[in-house]
Structure 1
């Protein structure tokens, strides 16, 4: 099976994120994001260029999680796709684009944080298995006896 590549961006949250819920009940996270750019010079050094600013949208459960965890200034990495669309402004058709992220996380190279590995609830409302319980400890868990090919 081959790797299915997606587009990705990294940058910083430039505006305070907003979480809204549409008429259809779907949650939507929106923020303006900045993407930094640099130019490599002939001597091998880099010159920092002005950032560009873009719209970032995330939907459904990921939108709710992002709204709880991201704020203005946070550094992120997101994967998803660019969505081009048109809208009318002052009687003119305007073409615009936004990045729709299917996954997003803080940028490890630029963010300090602690990882919380406590149990999360699944979408079905049931508790997920506790990875710290003895039942999930491969050393403590009794192994089921599996007959070998020789004994079959």
Structure 2
């Protein structure tokens, strides 16, 4: 089966929404905006062209880490499987471009970030509780 894997650089255009799947697993969603920049020789500088928006979905540990790490406006790099959906609602046709993320990170070309490793207990193991 062929899948379209994309890497998109942009900004978080919405707050991360935490959800839970029907199977009880963590899920998260955010909107990612990416704007084309072009050099305008007449003006002698860079200008913004069109902006595209993607709905980014993350699941399980990636979803939990996304909720804890990203806020609106932060520059991101997202890699995942592209899904383009079309439909009709109330007589209006719509198209949605979704990315099921396999990796999400801050864009270090535009700022710094501090990595904190998260350790989670294996299934069936309980976390030690301090008295």
- Please, what TM-score do these two structures have when normalized by structure 1? 0.66
Quick check: which has more Rg, 1 or 2? 1
Q: Distance in 2 between matches of 1:25 and 1:18?
A: 16
Q: Distance in 2 between matches of 1:35 and 1:58?
A: 18
Query: Could you say which structure has the greater relative contact order, defined with CA pairs below 8 angstroms and 6 or more residues apart?
Result: 2
Q: Which has the higher strand share?
A: 2
**What is the count of residue pairs matched by the alignment?**
120
Hey, which bits of structure 1, 4+ residues long, moved more than 6 A? none
- Please, what TM-score do these two structures have when normalized by structure 2? 0.75
Q: Distance in 1 between matches of 2:39 and 2:72?
A: 29
Structure 2: give runs of 5+ residues left out of the alignment. 126-131
Structure 1 position 80, deviation (Å): 0.8
Q: Distance in 2 between matches of 1:70 and 1:49?
A: 25
How much is the aligned-residue C-alpha RMSD, in angstroms?
2.6
Structure 1: give runs of 5+ residues left out of the alignment. 127-152
Q: Distance in 2 between matches of 1:95 and 1:6?
A: 19
